Amino acid sequence: GAVVSQHPSWVICKSGTSVKIECRSLDFQATTMFWYRQFPKQSLMLMATSNEGSKATYEQGVEKDKFLINHASLTLSTLTVTSAHPEDSSFYICSAPDGFGNSPLHFGNGTRLTVT
């Protein structure tokens, strides 16, 4: 079945540094990927839509200069958290439809970011 892979699965960084998270579709091409954020004991909140070959679309309240998204190829989207602060500590999850229209969205296993 369709698989979405995220890397790293967890990362600890110091305040003020930047962190890059990768999301790959392993056996299908994804022109669109979605990035979610999940705080402890809360639901997933959509941050942005990553579009291959064009700019990402950000949800209201999400700073595009802080959360840089690059959809470099049909199988890879990256989310870079720039100048990270402790309040950015969260679980970041990506998803991708496999392009066959009537299929469910596949999620990666998430990246736990801890900013110290």
Partner 1 sequence: GESVGLHLPTLSVQEGDNSIINCAYSNSASDYFIWYKQESGKGPQFIIDIRSNMDKRQGQRVTVLLNKTVKHLSLQIAATQPGDSAVYFCAENLPLGAGGTSYGKLTFGQGTILTVHP
Decide if residue 97 touches partner 1 (CB under 8 A): yes
Site for partner 1 contains 89 (CB under 8 A) = no
> Considering beta carbons, is residue 32 or 80 the nearer one to partner 1?
32
Q: Which of 21, 47, 81, 93 binds partner 1 (CB under 8 A)?
A: 93
Element (H, E) at 28: none
In 3-state terms, what secondary structure has residue 86? helix
Length of the chain: 116
How many residues line the site for partner 1 (CB under 8 A)? 23
E strand or H helix at 55: none
Rounded-to-integer distance, Cα 86 and Cα 14, Å? 9
Q: Which is nearer to partner 1, 72 or 105 (CB)?
A: 105
Six token digits for residue 67? 């959360």
Contact residue for partner 1 among 35, 88, 108, 115 (CB under 8 A): 108
Is position 28 an interface residue for partner 1 (rule: CB under 8 A)?
no
Q: Is 74 in the site for partner 1 (CB under 8 A)?
A: no
Cross-strand partners of 6: 23
- Which whole-number Å values give the CA distances from 28 to 37, 39, 108, in the listed order? 23, 29, 14
At closest approach, how far in Å is the CB of 90 from partner 1?
Answer: 13
- Does 77 sit near partner 1 (CB under 8 A)? no
